Structure 1
Amino acid sequence: MDYREEIKQLRDALNEHGYKYYVLDAPTISDYEYDMLNRRLEELEAQHPEEVTPDSPTQRIGGKTLEGFASYTHESPLESLQDVFSAEEVEEFCQRMDEALGKETAYSLEPKVDGLSVALEYREGVFVRGATRGDGRTGEDVTENLKTIRSIPMVLPDKLPRLIVRGEVYMSRAVFEELNAQREIQGKPLLANPRNAAAGSLRQLDPKVCAERKLDIQVFNLQLAEGREFVSHQETLDYLASQRFRVIPHKMLSGTAACQAEIARINDNRMEYPFDIDGAVIKVNSLTDRVKLGSTAKFPKWAVAFKYPPEKKPAQVLDIVIQVGRTGVLTPKAVLTPVRLAGTNVTNATLHNQDLIREKDIRIGDTVIVQKAGEIIP
């Protein structure tokens, strides 16, 4: 067989098996078999370096440490969403949509991944650039680090002139707990939460370090597609799934009651997702209706993010100990029966100072309600 043909067959096979493993979670060959295919491709590319292309499966982890990140201007701004916090505000949003459009509005309802928003750009079906959201208009070019995320396809079945998609990069709870267990053994400071860990990993100047963090992505929006027309958000998500992206779980529905029920269902089942969530997003499905509704100076009018209140659980105070900070400040800390909150096990909570202990009359043996401030500090 001609070496060019073998290289093509190996790349196609590795892309196919990578998609089945990292996106579908349904591998059809063993890790060893995959590694052997990859090694053979590396050998052929070493023998014929002129055949190496940026989209080759062997090029996911660059060998060069970056000196810094270049800025990137988003052609389609990555807008933020207006937050709502109550059933009444959800009802008001749905009523506004129905009144503005003169009909019962159809929505897509999705979990809001607590991660880092990025844009991925493809030209002629090949991944060429990826950037963080930044302020929505200008972000940082983190292409080399995004290449290390195995669920991001390097090549797409369709070869549109240009395609830009938006997704949320995250670190799964399982990877986060594994990473913190390793750091504890090594005597390193523990990472605060999966979101901060993902953000820090994506901004590593050495792509090899980012690769070790095993980040993942959920794609949730089509920003730009040259040479293809769509009428609805559902249609764009179906198309992105056909292009081998890992697409955000979503439900299509209409009416305030259905939206409220789905928001509650997502919250009740939040630990079934591999990623942390901090809310649910309601989006108008029709793209024509979105254009009609437009945006304010800050937010699109056709979507809102319902933010869940912090999770609270009871725990018993087993002991009260004094913690010495790096600057010598003494802080009382409650040792608790373990409770699981926002995806992590909590065994301690700060009591701030003696005045707080006196004011709340906190004693060993008391049962207390524990929550995370900003889903970070108990």
Structure 2
Amino acid sequence: MSKLIPVSDLTEDAARAELAQLAEQLTRANTLYHGKDAPEISDAEYDALKRRNAEIEARFPYLKREDSPSDQVGARPADGFSKVAHAVRMMSLGNAFDDEDVQDFDRSIRKYLGLDGAAPLTFTAEPKIDGLSLSLRYEKGQLVQAATRGDGEVGENVTANARTISDIPHAIDNAPDVLEVRGEVYMSHEDFEKLNARQEEAGDKPFANPRNAAAGSLRQLDAAITRARPLRFFAYAWGELSDPLAETQMGAIDRLRDFKFSTNPLTKLCATTDEMLEHYRNIEAQRASLGYDIDGVVYKVNDLSLQARLGFRSTTPRWAIAHKFPAELAWTRLEGIDIQVGRTGALSPVARLHPVTVGGVVVSNATLHNEDYVAGRDAKGGTIRDGKDIRIGDWVQVYRAGDVIPKIADVDISKRPDGAEPFEFPKTCPECNSDAVREEGDAIRRCTGGVICPAQAVEKLKHFVSRKAFDIEGLGAKQIEMFYDDPDLPIRTPVDIFTLRTRDAKNLNKLANRKGWGAQSAGNLWDAIEEKRRIPFGRLLFALGIRHMGEAASNLIATHYGNWAEFEQAVTAAAGFEGPEWEDLLSVDGVGEVMARALVSAFAQNAERASIDKLVDELDVQEAKRPDTSGSPVAGKTVVFTGTLEKMTRAEAKARAEALGAKVAGSVSKKTDLLVAGPGAGSKAKKATELGIETLDEDGWIQLIGTA
């Protein structure tokens, strides 16, 4: 199979579109999998979707959505069970899919901890059970509560059902006063087959797979039904503890075994990544004969004190990763290629496929990325798919696991129909017939029509009212299309939304008299628009749809400047791409020169600036929220680190400063409050001295922040 195009070759438009689709698909998948026990896609596909989402976010951090699947765990608890708030959040795991990912995992941990490649570092490796996560709470040795993961923070109370599982002890000797044991409820293949036979004999619908059967059985409202189902439980982790179980992960697993829990016998201690990968392959070779479903191998740092140092990201621990088994492929006929125009004018080719099932899901279209990809070239002119181009009528291999809109991975030239012609990428926009040009160094051809191109105007407005932007109830994509072409109440620019009610009143309230509307629905729309006049700074900035400006970057900038007036003044002063305001913008961690230029350029264009100013006049823009860091000696201060830190890594220092409410910048400016300089500090230290900025060494920094 030819190598798929890497994320590094995605354009911003393609990335934004994929992230939006991934968010929708993964939210649905989470609800079906965790909430309804009725998944539509395979675990391998789900994990690959998550991986693709994470890769795109890493490549385009400023495009990360507010509802990013990276920040979500599981799904909301279902109705019918009382809710349980987890004392310690039940996290998900990051994923690895190949040897390099595992090696990167090891390197990232060593870098974070400041360990070189030769320093000893051990990991546990254990099968990843494909079941339902469960947390068991024991107090003074007695089982008092069992809860599903839910969304990671709140789960479902399934205590009565958990008590029916033979692998779960009701009482434990010599346990800590508070002990939360976590693990996976599953069903063996043999028991699953017997259960389905009984289901069919009773005239009931059989279960699709053991995971669904286990989840559905545990989440029965009648515990008697659960008791009749052959559920098992593997323990492998813990939540709240009154006393530590051990000093190592392996020691803690041994302790759980001493408490009479079933732990997986294939759990192994590994001293190197080679040993981890060897054990992965050993487990994979045994996968079909284990008698229960697994979908990968989980690696965890063995030393619990190092786990504590490494800590957590928003939804995943830094000290663990799941090495997943591969996903699926399928072949089908390419029936056509359509060209879609995005809000920045990007022309994106989409493959129309003869419907094919890939991993249990019917696929009928796929992304083709750009004209180079169709032609069999990468962004640098090199060959992909051995140089094979893609033509209408081709027999193509579809790889769905990485995208909601799948990819075409390969082409079978031997099945190419006679007369199939190379696809000629359009040089004019299919929406407005303006020239479509491709600038040097850009992989995307773009329409030059700008505001006269309806596709761009409509797509920008759709973005403006999207869920992560203004999110106006009753004014979605379909309504935008309707109002854009409306002869009486057109919406052509964002400010038109907030003048809509006044214009309708002058137009004899025609909206209420239209088919499909009425006085109540029109009134609801006016109320919804009115409600959104009060908007957070970061959300407004994202809603403007400025190229390269994603949600994360918008919020970073909002936090940096605090309020719209200060931001507007600064970005106006930076119009020449020089001076202190320009340097200050570049100092925002996560804002690069390309993004900064796009932002400043947008505000420097007279027509666009006038449109923005008119919009802001209609709004109440709220100041950016800042974290509650009362008592922090560096809250609200801008800190720059330079030189070599010897007692903590740069990543640890940055994370600590941000947790205390400081802004960590990459360069020194007049707005810098504090420079922390280690050995080897150079130009930044010199500039700080020239500007009279307070400078501390690493010891002084540690003394300053103390235990705050």
Q: In the alignment, what sits opposite 1:119? A: 135
1:276 Cα deviation (Å)? 0.3
Q: Which residue of 2 aligns with 1:166?
A: 182
Match among 128, 131, 141 for residue 144 of structure 2: 128
Query: How far apart, in 2, do the equivalents of 1:279 and 1:149 lie?
Result: 25
1:69 matched residue in structure 2? 81
Q: Does 1:91 align with 2:103?
A: yes
What is residue 278 of structure 1 aligned with on the other side?
295
Q: In structure 1, which of residues 237, 247, 252 is the aligned counterpart of residue 269 of structure 2?
A: 252
| Residues 1:75 and 1:350: Cα distance change in structure 2 (over 3 Å) | closer
Q: Is the 8 A contact 2:112 2:310 kept in 1?
A: yes
Among 276, 301, 308, the residue aligned to 2:325: 308
Alignment of 1:23-172 (within 5 A): 68-101=80-113, 102=115, 103-172=119-188
Compute the displacement of 1:191 (Å): 0.7
Decide whether the 8 Å contact of 2:328 with 2:401 is kept in 1: no
Which is further off, 86-95 or 143-152?
86-95
Q: Are the equivalent residues in 2 in contact too, given 1:97–1:105 (CA < 8 A)? A: no
Change (3 A) 1:84 1:351: closer
Where does 1:337-376 land on structure 2 (aligned, <5 Å)? none
Q: How many residues of Structure 1 are paired with residues of Structure 2 in the alignment?
A: 268
Partner of 2:200: 184
**Equivalent of 2:283, from 237, 259, 266?**
266
State the distance in 2 between where 1:372 and 1:274 align.
Answer: 28
Deviation at 1:248, TM superposition (A): 2.5
CA deviation after TM superposition for structure 1 residue 160, in Å: 2.5
TM-score, scaled relative to structure 2: 0.35
Whether contact under 8 Å (1:125, 1:158) holds in the other structure is yes
Tell me which amino acid in the other structure corresponds to 1:90.
V
Partner of 2:314: 297
Q: Which runs of 4+ in 1 moved over 3 A?
A: 349-353, 371-374
- CA offset at residue 224 of structure 1? 2.9
Q: Which runs of 5+ in 2 are unaligned?
A: 1-78, 330-354, 365-392, 403-708
CA offsets, 1:307-355, max 9 Å, x none?
101479xxxxxxxxxxxxxxxxxxx999xxxxxxx9xxxxxx99999xx
Q: What displacement does 1:235 show? A: 1.1
Indicate the residue corresponding to 2:213 in structure 1. 197
More moved, 177-186 vs 231-240: 177-186
SS at match of 1:192: coil
Task: Read off the aligned partner of 2:99 and give its amino acid letter.
Answer: A
Q: What is the TM-score normalised by the length of structure 1?
A: 0.64
Rounded to whole Å, the distance in 1 between the matches of 2:197 and 2:282 is: 31
Q: Match for 1:216: what amino acid?
A: R
Residues 189/235 of structure 1: CA separation in 2 closer, same or farther (3 Å cut): same
Contact 2:296 2:325 (C-alpha < 8 Å) held by counterparts: yes
**Structure 1 residues 190 and 97, CA gap change in structure 2 (3 angstroms):** same
Deviation at 1:192, TM superposition (A): 0.5
Q: Report which stretch shifted further, 95-104 or 293-302.
A: 95-104
Partner secondary structure for residue 214 of structure 1: coil
| Aligned-residue offset at 1:134 | 0.7
For 2:100, give the aligned amino acid.
E
Q: Percent identity?
A: 37
Q: Counterpart of 2:90 in structure 1: which amino acid?
A: L
**Gap change, CA 1:256 and 1:188, over 3 Å in 2:** same
Greater RCO, CA 8 A, separation 6+? 1
SS in 2 for 1:269: helix
Amino acid at match of 2:321: V
What does residue 214 of structure 1 align with? 230
- Checking the alignment, whether the CA contact within 8 Å between 1:129 and 1:141 is kept in structure 2 is yes
* Counterpart Cα distance in 2 of 1:117 and 1:297: 19
Greater Cα offset, 265-274 or 193-202: 265-274
Normalized per residue, the structure richer in strand is 1
Q: 1:256 to 1:212 in 2, by over 3 A?
A: same
C-alpha displacement of 1:372: 12
What's the Cα RMSD here? 3.1
Q: Which has the higher helix share?
A: 2
Give the direction of change, closer, same or farther, for the CA distance of 1:272–1:227 in structure 2 (3 Å limit): same
The CA deviation at 1:111 is 0.4
Deviation at 1:264, TM superposition (A): 1.0
SS of equivalent to 1:278: strand
Contact kept in structure 1, 2:128 and 2:298, CA below 8 Å: yes
Q: Which runs of 5+ in 1 are unaligned?
A: 1-66, 313-331, 335-341, 343-348, 354-358, 362-368
Separation in 1, partners of 2:200, 2:363: 25
Distance 1:264 1:372 in 2: 24
Counterpart CA distance in 2 for 1:130 and 1:157 is 18
Contact 1:111 1:281 in 2 (8 A): yes
Q: What is the CA–CA distance in structure 1 between the aligned matches of 2:400 and 2:202, rounded to whole Å?
A: 26
Q: Does structure 2 retain, via aligned residues, the 8 Å contact 1:131–1:140? A: yes
